[in-house]
Amino acid sequence: MIRFNNDYSAGAHPAVMEKLLKINSGRYPGYGEDPLSYEAADLIRKACAAPDADVHFLTGGTQANALMVTTALRPWQSAVCADSGHINAHEAGSVEHGGHRITALPSKDGKITAAQVEETALGFENNLFRDHVTEPKMVYISSPNELGCLYSRLELSDLSRVCREHGLYLFLDGARLAYGLGASDCDFTLADIAALTDVFYIGGTKCGTLFGEALVITNDELKYGFRNAMKQFGAMLAKGWLIGTQFGALFEGGVYEELGREADRKADRIRAEFAALGITPCAPGNTNQIFYYLDSRLADALSDRFVLEIMEKTADGKVMARICTSWYTSDEDVDALIAAVRNYS
Amino acid sequence: MIRFNNDYSAGAHPAVMEKLLKINSGRYPGYGEDPLSYEAADLIRKACAAPDADVHFLTGGTQANALMVTTALRPWQSAVCADSGHINAHEAGSVEHGGHRITALPSKDGKITAAQVEETALGFENNLFRDHVTEPKMVYISSPNELGCLYSRLELSDLSRVCREHGLYLFLDGARLAYGLGASDCDFTLADIAALTDVFYIGGTKCGTLFGEALVITNDELKYGFRNAMKQFGAMLAKGWLIGTQFGALFEGGVYEELGREADRKADRIRAEFAALGITPCAPGNTNQIFYYLDSRLADALSDRFVLEIMEKTADGKVMARICTSWYTSDEDVDALIAAVRNYS
Amino acid sequence: MIRFNNDYSAGAHPAVMEKLLKINSGRYPGYGEDPLSYEAADLIRKACAAPDADVHFLTGGTQANALMVTTALRPWQSAVCADSGHINAHEAGSVEHGGHRITALPSKDGKITAAQVEETALGFENNLFRDHVTEPKMVYISSPNELGCLYSRLELSDLSRVCREHGLYLFLDGARLAYGLGASDCDFTLADIAALTDVFYIGGTKCGTLFGEALVITNDELKYGFRNAMKQFGAMLAKGWLIGTQFGALFEGGVYEELGREADRKADRIRAEFAALGITPCAPGNTNQIFYYLDSRLADALSDRFVLEIMEKTADGKVMARICTSWYTSDEDVDALIAAVRNYS
Amino acid sequence: MIRFNNDYSAGAHPAVMEKLLKINSGRYPGYGEDPLSYEAADLIRKACAAPDADVHFLTGGTQANALMVTTALRPWQSAVCADSGHINAHEAGSVEHGGHRITALPSKDGKITAAQVEETALGFENNLFRDHVTEPKMVYISSPNELGCLYSRLELSDLSRVCREHGLYLFLDGARLAYGLGASDCDFTLADIAALTDVFYIGGTKCGTLFGEALVITNDELKYGFRNAMKQFGAMLAKGWLIGTQFGALFEGGVYEELGREADRKADRIRAEFAALGITPCAPGNTNQIFYYLDSRLADALSDRFVLEIMEKTADGKVMARICTSWYTSDEDVDALIAAVRNYS
């Protein structure tokens, strides 16, 4: 079976695994206070052109999101995101478990606009009953997002400006950031993200590591006490160097950017072929995730050799499916999928 | 100024104040373990035909809601309610502060249907990714609700059945229950509510007391440890007998039902008059709250002598206003309002 | 039965009840935004010589404590108090329920010293594993405390200095403040407390009101968003003016100070008489609470006419009992108790 | 430098690393629902003679503790443990962050007795003010504990009996379980632990894995909803098979027991040698951790070649140091340490 269902079906990128093996016989101080973690943090600060940023290594995305939101907000403050946002739709209420309400904004492509955020902020500021509602204080976006779409530099910059005007933190979930940076139409850099947000994370789990996300905090207000918060949350890995090592491997020789670019190129091939066959995606992204409403017979036919992620079955006999490439997708995998779809048509 | 803006603009009903005065020189055990509280609880159990119910006296509605939801649910479980439900719209994120997500269902009249609840329950049960979402476990309804509408006995009974079939608790917020029971078209009794829900509360603050709500727990699963939870939440009044005393005054001589009926009769007069003038309410309720989109000039004209609750101003120059009667609304107040509106038209 | 068990066995002080009655026919805006609350807040600011303080009216002590601690602290920060401190010993884990750890310091008289606080602060600052523990950030004291003892002005001033040096908030629980200010050896004023702490509350429930505490926030860092936090916590009374009214009655004509002084004078009579009979109290306070280890036969004998608070029974056949005077204790009550004890001896 | 400071200074045991490498090119379903995890869970159930146990793989000890305590307890319930217990002393208030109070019992060797637990349970049951305190509901023990001591089978059995009599859950933190099972005086088996507790975990991080703990739930009451709770807590690893794989490697060929036994044997050599030199440990354990008060000059002398964990410096010029062996400690490491100490003496 060839897996196109997600981008976390395989272990580590060879470069990552090699480095893990190499350092396995070493001995290191615990809890992320080790040379390997420091080195990786430096590489990341450099890649982000953010010399004063705090970099923390966490084990997974839901953990990073929940910990960051809970740590940043006071009890009566809430997070704002797209209705399809990962914290709203796929994390089992982790933000609410941390005590905070989410204001979910409607979105067709998983993105929210500066205008929506401004309206939300003004809605609170002008609310006649503002003591009776939560104060929006953090905007959560993901890029690429849950529908494979990417913010443009201008959109990020507008969001950033509105957030700063109204005193909201901008938090970018970069679980799939490599596949964003590698997209043919990506017009922002890591340094742009670092400059425009208050905190973001560079995803590892879906982009080459066994596990691990690198949280980058640029806003000083969010830095204090974070290691205590990590420990309290159960998010401080005893052998912290393991995550540092993996990010070191990804950022030393440009591996991170390359693996993203390659996966996107493969997704582009699939997009082009499906388009040629008249199958159009649900959302206009150019990253590694593509969502299609497929005829259920086609989905069935493909299921012999391919694993797609079936998101839902519609009333009119279609299935909404995700096709996902990743650093471990080969051109042969893509060839096989294309051949199978052509064959069916 | 004559206040029609809400039903909590005055102190206590005379019968309540009289009893508070009478017992003011007495001495009582603390924390609700006193004869006055026990007596009131007995009266309530009797009125509800629920001899085994636990009755707890709390100081306010948000407290009652937040405490009950938090105590009933396990960390990963969520509450379900109408989008306009009080816990979702007016309580500053208290349920989320307690760690729980709210699933808000769309509703035009503030009511949710058994079909909506069933769909929500099935949505979880059939969810392919059910580990990644919260489990709906409690349905919160208010009756009369935030738009002045009332559930019928059949609607309650359908909700109750669906909840029991799917293992959800049904919690009724009765902050304005007196005005529900007194409505001309009310077809349920306190005993019906006790039989059909797992827990509900009989509102005092808006129905004759200085403050205080009587929580009635009928489902045994929700009884254990509740006094500890109350104390922990800061919801156990040192002089608990004060709430017991007030509910005693309301339930001894039928005061509760009568004050609701009278307030509704006055609201009916307003409804009839406005209808005659061609002004139709936003929602079809027959309780003490009426919501109108008023021409803003009419609203301005009335604001000289009357306080209405201005909920919002619409783009087309209208205001959404609440007109609210209560136990302290006099027929003269109503006459004056009617005269003023007629005069304007 | 004559109740000496606590100071919350009776309703409201006559001056308070009279004012509640007087305003019962009025109509007021809700949620504490009314003239009666504003007036009372002004009286309190004046009595505290704290013109910029925020004053909030809450319904009870546990609520005030839990809400204030939770609102002031970030997730990884903890509160520090005496082991007998109310938040540590009598509030069913409300601070922990709010997510915060309590560091309890040993104390014989219920007081903690500046040296203990400094040691705690330094213990964190110098901790080699400080990421693995909570950061002490708020010191909670009560005065008079749970054993009837009072801090001196010098002790408060020392605590204040140490807290400011180490960046800790000082929070004083004044549930029984009237009985502190009225003590023969009290050397501080309300203005001293306002100047030396960051936040404190003036207790009503035990000092003349039906219910209600007045929280006074002097530190600007603790002011922002507090009304949202109150609402979220279920601590914002719909008829907020009821608490304002009661505090107005206490602070208009010096009632608060007088009732405290009178109750303390009665406690002094009891203390003197017991001392003359060779019965010495457990702790050296001069406020309205006195704790004795009594011979259990004496306790039994007294229990025919008097209610004392039996705290515990010791292995050697004694009982630890609280004798408590209050604004409603009469000289006749005291005479009767003294006669009974003399009679027994 | 030779590290004796802890047992988490190195990567993975060779058998673990080899298996991770081997499966790195495979493709697997996410979130722990994969053949490798199922296989490992089966091996663990078999090793525990607990065919009906639920086994969940978590990333670290603090996460396992916090998640389990929070999931098991209702809001007003508390955990009971030794004052030196890991959740009380080293986890930055994670249990309190989850909303629960810890009752810490005094202990010299890090163990608590059945009598202490019974006294705590009775203390609540007989408390005259039991609504005002938390209900002890879970007993947390670690074995080996934070001082290197081990419970005997009889002690565990007594604790288990008392817990069941009083309705408390018994939770064993087995972060170092391999070093407990391998101790010369260990008289219990994994099956004993499974039978005597309600839930426990088998530590991986300190016992051969890169990271990961295997939580074993035997009490049905604690099973429901746990995967949702994991996800909500950010504790569900996307590539769950990575932990399953590692535990598979440890339990397939007896690696887990052997590595524990070997590390303990090395610690025994150190203990014997130090004893011969008149240096006695702080606590009587026979596991891989040994705590000594060392003359600070000796500690200094050793610090040239060895890393010990300096826990604290005492007023009389000594240091409390931990010497810790592990699966990666070699006999040569031990020889060197012994030689250095002999040399110094």
pLDDT at A108 over 90: yes
Contacts of A205 in chain D (CB under 8 A): 238-239
- Work out the average pLDDT over B111-134: 96
Contacts of A215 in chain D (CB under 8 A): none
Question: By the CB < 8 Å criterion, does A132 face chain C?
Answer: yes
Question: By the CB < 8 Å criterion, does D74 face chain B?
Answer: yes
Question: By the CB < 8 Å criterion, does C29 face chain B?
Answer: yes
Compare all CA atoms of chain C with the CA of A100 and give the residue at the minimum distance: C232
Specify the DSSP class assigned to residue A4.
-
Question: By the CB < 8 Å criterion, does B129 face chain A?
Answer: yes
- In angstroms, the CA D233 to CA A273 distance is 41
Contacts of B25 in chain C (CB under 8 A): 10-11
Rounded to the nearest integer, the mean pLDDT of chain B is: 97
Contacts of C99 in chain A (CB under 8 A): 99
In whole angstroms, how far apart are CA D25 and each of A14, A20, A286, A307?
A: 9, 15, 27, 17
Rounded to the nearest integer, the mean pLDDT of chain A is: 97
pLDDT at A345 over 80: no
B321 φ, ψ to 5°?
Answer: -125, 145
From A100's Cα to the closest Cα of chain B, the distance in A is: 5
Partner chains of C (3+ C-beta pairs under 8 Å): A, B, D
Confidence band (pLDDT; 50, 70, 90) for B85?
Answer: very high
- In angstroms, the CA D267 to CA D292 distance is 13
- Work out the average pLDDT over A208-236: 98
CA max distance for chain B: 63
What was the pLDDT predicted at B299? 94
- Asked if A234's CB is within 8 angstroms of D62's CB, the reply is yes
- Asked if B232's CB is within 8 angstroms of D134's CB, the reply is yes
Q: Which two tokens stand for residue B68?
A: 């009950």
A328 φ, ψ to 5°?
Answer: -105, 5
Q: Which of D97, D102, D138, D311 to mutate to test the interface with C (most CBs of C within 10 A)?
A: D97
Q: A–B: how many Cβ contacts below 8 A?
A: 60
Question: By the CB < 8 Å criterion, does D124 face chain C?
Answer: no
- Asked if B8's CB is within 8 angstroms of C27's CB, the reply is no
Q: Residues 243-272, chain C: which have Cβ within 8 Å of A?
A: none
A77 φ, ψ to 5°?
Answer: -100, 155
Confidence band (pLDDT; 50, 70, 90) for B345?
Answer: confident
Confidence band (pLDDT; 50, 70, 90) for B279?
Answer: very high
What was the pLDDT predicted at A254? 95
Partner chains of A (3+ C-beta pairs under 8 Å): B, C, D
What was the pLDDT predicted at A52? 98
pLDDT at D345 over 80: no
Start-end of H helices in chain A: 14-22, 35-47, 61-72, 86-89, 94-97, 114-125, 153-166, 177-181, 190-196, 226-232, 241-252, 255-276, 296-302, 331-344
In whole angstroms, how far apart are CA C59 and each of C64, C228, C247, D10, D236?
A: 8, 16, 12, 55, 42
- Work out the average pLDDT over C267-296: 95
Q: Which of D228, D231, D236, D237 to mutate to test the interface with B (most CBs of B within 10 A)?
A: D228
- Asked if D98's CB is within 8 angstroms of C129's CB, the reply is no
pLDDT tens digits, residue range C45-78? 999 999 999 999 999 999 999 999 999 999 999 9
Specify the DSSP class assigned to residue A275.
H
- Asked if A26's CB is within 8 angstroms of D237's CB, the reply is no
Question: By the CB < 8 Å criterion, does D132 face chain C?
Answer: yes
* Percent of chain A topping pLDDT 90: 97
| Locus of tokens 């006419």 | C305
pLDDT tens digits, residue range B10-58? 999 999 999 999 999 999 999 999 999 999 999 999 999 999 999 999 9
pLDDT tens digits, residue range C71-98? 999 999 999 999 999 999 999 999 999 9
Compare all CA atoms of chain A with the CA of B99 and give the residue at the minimum distance: A97
Question: By the CB < 8 Å criterion, does D92 face chain C?
Answer: yes
What was the pLDDT predicted at C257? 96
* Percent of chain D topping pLDDT 70: 100
Question: By the CB < 8 Å criterion, does D227 face chain B?
Answer: yes
Specify the DSSP class assigned to residue C106.
P
Question: By the CB < 8 Å criterion, does D131 face chain C?
Answer: yes
- In angstroms, the CA D63 to CA D233 distance is 8
User: For residues C130 and B253, which has the higher predicted lDDT (pLDDT)?
Assistant: C130
Confidence band (pLDDT; 50, 70, 90) for B344?
Answer: confident
- Asked if C70's CB is within 8 angstroms of A228's CB, the reply is no
pLDDT tens digits, residue range A233-259? 999 999 999 999 999 999 998 999 999
pLDDT tens digits, residue range B283-342? 999 999 999 999 999 999 999 999 999 998 888 889 999 999 999 999 999 999 999 999
Partner chains of B (3+ C-beta pairs under 8 Å): A, C, D
Question: By the CB < 8 Å criterion, does A344 face chain C?
Answer: no
From C233's Cα to the closest Cα of chain B, the distance in A is: 6
Contacts of C90 in chain D (CB under 8 A): 129, 132-133
- In angstroms, the CA A227 to CA A55 distance is 11
- Work out the average pLDDT over B209-236: 98
What was the pLDDT predicted at C315? 85
- Asked if D242's CB is within 8 angstroms of A211's CB, the reply is yes
Q: Does the interface predicted TM-score (ipTM) exceed 0.90?
A: yes
Question: By the CB < 8 Å criterion, does B21 face chain C?
Answer: yes
Would you say B179 and B288 are in contact if contact means Cβ atoms under 8 Å apart?
A: yes
Question: By the CB < 8 Å criterion, does C219 face chain D?
Answer: no
Q: Which two tokens stand for residue A260?
A: 């993203």
Would you say C95 and C134 are in contact if contact means Cβ atoms under 8 Å apart?
A: no
- Work out the average pLDDT over A83-93: 98
Q: Which of D27, D227, D236 to mutate to test the interface with A (most CBs of A within 10 A)?
A: D27
- Asked if D100's CB is within 8 angstroms of C133's CB, the reply is no
- Work out the average pLDDT over A59-76: 98
Q: Which two tokens stand for residue B166?
A: 């799917």
From B6's Cα to the closest Cα of chain C, the distance in A is: 9
Q: Residues 140-199, chain C: which have Cβ within 8 Å of B?
A: none
Contacts of A97 in chain B (CB under 8 A): 75-76, 99-101
What was the pLDDT predicted at D317? 87
- In angstroms, the CA B202 to CA B205 distance is 10
- In angstroms, the CA D97 to CA D120 distance is 23
B233 CB-near residues (< 8 Å, 6+ apart): B63, B66, B67, B70, C66, C94, C97, C234
Say which of A99, A129, A134 has its CB closest to residue B99: A99
Say which of D8, D30, D97 has its CB closest to residue A239: D8
- Asked if C8's CB is within 8 angstroms of B26's CB, the reply is no
Compare all CA atoms of chain C with the CA of D78 and give the residue at the minimum distance: C93
Confidence band (pLDDT; 50, 70, 90) for C314?
Answer: confident
C3 φ, ψ to 5°?
Answer: -95, 115
Would you say D99 and D75 are in contact if contact means Cβ atoms under 8 Å apart?
A: yes
pLDDT tens digits, residue range B180-208? 999 999 999 999 999 999 999 999 999 99
At C313 the three-state DSSP class reads strand
Q: Is C225 left (phi over 0), alpha (psi -120 to 50) or beta?
A: left
pLDDT at C301 over 80: yes
In whole angstroms, how far apart are CA D56 and each of B224, B278, C46, D45, D241?
A: 29, 65, 60, 11, 11
| DSSP secondary structure, D278-343, as one string | T---SS---SSEEEEEEEHHHHHHHTTTEE-EEEEE-TTSEEEEEEE--TT--HHHHHHHHHHHHH
Please name the amino acid found at residue B164: R
What was the pLDDT predicted at B315? 85
- Work out the average pLDDT over C235-262: 97
Specify the DSSP class assigned to residue C314.
-
> Do you find a cis peptide bond into D106, omega within 30 degrees of 0?
no
Confidence band (pLDDT; 50, 70, 90) for D270?
Answer: very high
Question: By the CB < 8 Å criterion, does C225 face chain A?
Answer: yes
Question: By the CB < 8 Å criterion, does D330 face chain B?
Answer: no
Cβ-based burial of A219 (10 A; exposed 0-12, middle 13-18, buried ≥19): middle
- Asked if D229's CB is within 8 angstroms of B75's CB, the reply is yes
Specify the DSSP class assigned to residue A106.
P
- In angstroms, the CA A56 to CA A68 distance is 11
C128 CB-near residues (< 8 Å, 6+ apart): D310
Compare all CA atoms of chain C with the CA of A224 and give the residue at the minimum distance: C74
A342 φ, ψ to 5°?
Answer: -60, -45
Say which of C131, C133, C232 has its CB closest to residue A76: C232
- Asked if C310's CB is within 8 angstroms of D128's CB, the reply is yes
What was the pLDDT predicted at D228? 98
Which is nearest to A232 in space by CA: B124, D98, D3, B122?
D98
Contacts of A94 in chain D (CB under 8 A): 231-234
